Chain A
Amino acid sequence: MKMTGAQAVVKALELEGVDLLFGYPGGAVTHIYDALYRSNIHHVLVRNEQGAAHAANGYARATGKVGVCIATSGPGATNMITGIATAYMDSIPIVAITGQVPLSMIGRDVFQEADITGATEPFTKHSYLVKDVKDIPRIFKEAFYLASTGRPGPVLIDIPKDVAMDTLFFEYPSQINLRGYKPTYEGHPGQIKRMSKAIIDSRRPVICVGGGAVSSNATDEIIELAEAIKAPVASTLMGIGAFPGDHSLSLGFLGQHGVYAANKAVAEADLLILLGARMGDRATGEARKFAPEAKVIHLDIDPAEIGKNIEIDIPIVGDIKTSLRQLLKKNISRHDWGWISKVSRWKERVEGVGKCTQGLNPMDIIRKLSDMVPEDTILVTDVGQHQMWAGRYYKTKKPRSFLSSGGLGTMGYGLPAALGAKLGCRDKEVILIIGDGGLQMSLGELATIVQENAKVKIMILNNGYLGMVRELQQQLHEERYYQTRMKGNPDFVKLGSAYGIKSFRVERQEKIISGIRQLLEWQGPIIGEFIIDPSANVIPVSRGEDDETNIRDIS
């Protein structure tokens, strides 16, 4: 069929099953927008292009499908960079489409020109600058394939305006031939065998799940493994939800800001099984001292992650679900040796946030929220103290239900990501926990939430500070709280009302439960502002020098 490049873009999106995309129009993409106007794809107009990428991210994580975002050339594209980098660090499949100035003008610094493929090179899985309209079908086919297979990630397609206006005979390829891209899905049988032997020989095994366990949809296999080998399961921030947080073998959130039981169990383990966890610095503390007694098995689809951050004894390249299925065919049951009961005792130690006299206790709020939400609730966080508290005190029961910017730590992620998650899963409760700082980074997207009637439940934990930095200033800079007090904060209840969003404030301890109930019961977008004690910290003060879990150092 003969059509324009712009029509080919929309046709390709339709053939990839895209029914929703997030974007912001501009001069270089008007032809694509005109083609979208004639299609059934729902376009969500965000208020800043960064929000489009974060929303696509939230959509992708909640649904498991590829998220799509679109922006114009120049500032539209550069605004999107933070969102693309966020998706890259967390291995989230998104396809970002940007307009570009006409091919003949490229390189002349014309109006709204930016080298976006160049600028995003370090944090895209792959990128394309379309130079020939005939390449559009192939490039879109490849882009969706690349974004969603192997280790997922963002793919960028930059389309010059004249290419979008040019015509082609549209034929969508059925096959993909990428010589340089052949992900390994099956684990090497010899390595799987070594893994099973190491498991049988172990006395104190611990499993650690990461974001790869979520994207591989391996929850059932991980539960089966943990129960078969009687191993407790810790989780990195990105892995939260890959193993049910309410399972008796769940240890919770591992790392510098993680919980005692998870860190203690890893420190004592003689076998550590890493499943799609890249063991970043926040998860390990000082890598040298991490899991000092353990033999380490690392199963990951990305060979470059194996051995990058910590030393590995048994590397296995493969998809987690596929490889665990291979493993589970073997006899791997082992005697418990009292390990589980020992671990259970560590789980009883709960480190709080300190005494809260000047406001509500955030741990209290999050634990109550955790107890009250429906099981399949999707919790979205922004970045900062509230994110770590959510990681520590909220029990995520299902995979793809804890969305947070783990790798890049992007403030401003939460609100648009919650929007994307809600539009992808309208039937699920989507709750956003966010700080007063982070909310103001993407504030404009409140309008998008209203525009789409996205029933996102927004819980603001307001301490009037950039709390995470304030905590660092307390610990490292003798309490010189400089540039962390958020002077000039708006009245968030009035602000919400100005957007037409039902909003309320909770200041008293005894109103926490009714506040949460109001959030859950309201049939529409709603803001609940909880005034918390600014002195509440993430790193428990009780964590002393004698703590052997290697989680003291923060930076």
Chain B
Amino acid sequence: MMKQILGILVENHPGVLSKVSGLFSRRGFNIYSLAVGITEDPSISRITIVVEGDEYIVEQVTKQLNKLVDVIKVANIGEDSVTRELALIKVMASPKTRHEVIEITNIFRAQVVDIAKDYLIVEITGDSEKISALVDMLKDYGIKEMVRTGAIAIDRGGKMIKYEDTERGGFQNGDNVL
């Protein structure tokens, strides 16, 4: 299954997130991860959804999202982008193993953000693979608790997902030309 990242600009109203996520479940689309937050324009929120599916699914998701009145814009975010997730990992670290854990953390350029007698909390940002790699390394010491955000993503360079007053709906004629 292909994974596609969608950047979705929505009206910053209560209830919009449920409209968006509800659409996925009711149309039988799978959300791999979801993250939401405010944008440079406080009236607009941006949802980043990683959707799993083939080309048909991704096209359908995009079109159905565009139909929601509260959805202002939907864009695919491709390879040429920066993608980040954040994870907080509570890992067992006795005075004996603490040093090794910190060393691994450093190699990943992650940070230790809390320390207790038998535990460390490691904070890491990066793409999904990097976080998974760190998780793999820390597994042997005993991960007691972990929390991960969904991915957020932004296009590199001058490409932007922005609402412009003049543009017509989300669908450009010809997008669907075979």
B15 A188 Cβ-Cβ under 8 A = no
**Contact of A500 with B by CB under 8 A:** no
Q: List 9 A-B contacts (CB under 8 A).
A: A118-B18, A126-B69, A179-B72, A180-B11, A180-B73, A188-B173, A303-B176, A308-B60, A312-B178
A304 B67 Cβ-Cβ under 8 A = yes
Query: A179-B72, A304-B67, A307-B59 given as contacts; is B168 within 8 A of A188 (CB)?
Result: no
**Contact of B64 with A by CB under 8 A:** yes
B18 A125 Cβ-Cβ under 8 A = no
What 1/0 mask marks residues of chain A from 298 to 311 whose CB sits below 8 Å from any chain B CB? 00001110111001
A317 B171 Cβ-Cβ under 8 A = yes
B63 A303 Cβ-Cβ under 8 A = yes
A180 B69 Cβ-Cβ under 8 A = yes
B72 A304 Cβ-Cβ under 8 A = no
Residue of B nearest to A298 (CB): B176
**Min distance, Cβ B62 to any Cβ of chain A, angstroms:** 9
Q: Which residues of B contact A190 (CB under 8 A)?
A: 173-174
**Contact of B142 with A by CB under 8 A:** no
B22 A121 Cβ-Cβ under 8 A = yes
**Contact of A146 with B by CB under 8 A:** yes
**Min distance, Cβ B176 to any Cβ of chain A, angstroms:** 4
Most chain B CB inside 10 Å of its own CB: which residue of A181, A188, A316: A181
B69 A146 Cβ-Cβ under 8 A = yes
Question: What is the number of residues of chain A that contact chain B, defined by CB distance less than 8 Å?
Answer: 31
**Min distance, Cβ B34 to any Cβ of chain A, angstroms:** 17
Binding site for B on A (CB under 8 A): 117-118, 121-122, 125-126, 129, 146, 178-184, 187-188, 190-191, 302-304, 306-308, 311-313, 315-317
What 1/0 mask marks residues of chain B from 1 to 35 whose CB sits below 8 Å from any chain A CB? 00000000011000100110010001000000000
Q: Which residues of A contact B177 (CB under 8 A)?
A: 191, 315
A188 B174 Cβ-Cβ under 8 A = yes
**Min distance, Cβ B15 to any Cβ of chain A, angstroms:** 7
**Min distance, Cβ A271 to any Cβ of chain B, angstroms:** 15
A304 B63 Cβ-Cβ under 8 A = yes
Give complex CA distance A188, B177 in Å: 11
A180 B70 Cβ-Cβ under 8 A = yes
Number of residue pairs A-B, CB distance < 8 angstroms: 68
**Min distance, Cβ A151 to any Cβ of chain B, angstroms:** 8
Query: A117-B15, A122-B26, A308-B60 given as contacts; is B67 within 8 A of A184 (CB)?
Result: no
Q: Which of B138-178 contact A (CB under 8 A)?
A: 163, 167-169, 171, 173-174, 176-178
**Min distance, Cβ B161 to any Cβ of chain A, angstroms:** 13
User: With A146-B69, A184-B168 given, can you name 12 additional A-B contacts, CB distance below 8 Å?
Assistant: A125-B69, A126-B70, A129-B15, A180-B10, A180-B11, A182-B167, A184-B171, A188-B173, A190-B173, A302-B67, A303-B63, A303-B169
Residue of B nearest to A179 (CB): B72
Give complex CA distance A184, B170 in Å: 10
**Contact of B93 with A by CB under 8 A:** no
The 4 closest A-B pairs by CB, nearest first: A188-B173, A304-B63, A303-B171, A315-B176
**Min distance, Cβ B116 to any Cβ of chain A, angstroms:** 38
B176 A304 Cβ-Cβ under 8 A = no
From B71, B167, B176, give the contact of A306 (CB < 8 A).
B176
**Contact of B68 with A by CB under 8 A:** yes
Residue of A nearest to B67 (CB): A304
**Min distance, Cβ B118 to any Cβ of chain A, angstroms:** 42
**Min distance, Cβ B158 to any Cβ of chain A, angstroms:** 22
**Contact of B128 with A by CB under 8 A:** no
Give complex CA distance A313, B15 in Å: 38
Q: Which residues of B contact A311 (CB under 8 A)?
A: 178
Q: Which residues of A contact B171 (CB under 8 A)?
A: 184, 303, 317
**Min distance, Cβ B163 to any Cβ of chain A, angstroms:** 6
A121 B69 Cβ-Cβ under 8 A = no
Q: Which residues of B contact A303 (CB under 8 A)?
A: 63, 66, 169, 171, 176
Q: Which residues of A contact B26 (CB under 8 A)?
A: 122
Give complex CA distance A308, B59 in Å: 9
Residue of A nearest to B171 (CB): A303
What 1/0 mask marks residues of chain B from 52 to 64 whose CB sits below 8 Å from any chain A CB? 0000100110011
Q: Which residues of B contact A308 (CB under 8 A)?
A: 60, 63
Q: Which residues of A contact B11 (CB under 8 A)?
A: 179-180
B173 A121 Cβ-Cβ under 8 A = no
Most chain A CB inside 10 Å of its own CB: which residue of B19, B56, B60, B173: B173
Give complex CA distance A94, B73 in Å: 26
**Min distance, Cβ B31 to any Cβ of chain A, angstroms:** 17
Give complex CA distance A122, B171 in Å: 22
Query: A129-B15, A179-B163, A180-B11 given as contacts; is B173 within 8 A of A191 (CB)?
Result: yes
B174 A182 Cβ-Cβ under 8 A = no
Residue of A nearest to B68 (CB): A180
Most chain A CB inside 10 Å of its own CB: which residue of B60, B63, B67: B67
From B15, B56, B69, give the contact of A181 (CB < 8 A).
B69
Give complex CA distance A190, B15 in Å: 39
Give complex CA distance A354, B167 in Å: 57
Q: Which residues of B contact A315 (CB under 8 A)?
A: 176-177
Q: Which residues of A contact B67 (CB under 8 A)?
A: 302, 304
A182 B176 Cβ-Cβ under 8 A = no
Q: Which residues of A contact B73 (CB under 8 A)?
A: 180
From A121, A126, A182, give the contact of B169 (CB < 8 A).
A182
Q: Which residues of A contact B178 (CB under 8 A)?
A: 311-313
Give complex CA distance A179, B169 in Å: 9
**Min distance, Cβ A41 to any Cβ of chain B, angstroms:** 26
**Min distance, Cβ B94 to any Cβ of chain A, angstroms:** 47
A304 B60 Cβ-Cβ under 8 A = yes
**Min distance, Cβ A418 to any Cβ of chain B, angstroms:** 31
Q: Which residues of B contact A180 (CB under 8 A)?
A: 10-11, 68-73
Give complex CA distance A181, B18 in Å: 18
Q: Which residues of B contact A125 (CB under 8 A)?
A: 69
Q: Which residues of B contact A316 (CB under 8 A)?
A: 173
Q: Which residues of A contact B66 (CB under 8 A)?
A: 303-304
Give complex CA distance A187, B71 in Å: 23
**Min distance, Cβ B166 to any Cβ of chain A, angstroms:** 10
A307 B163 Cβ-Cβ under 8 A = no
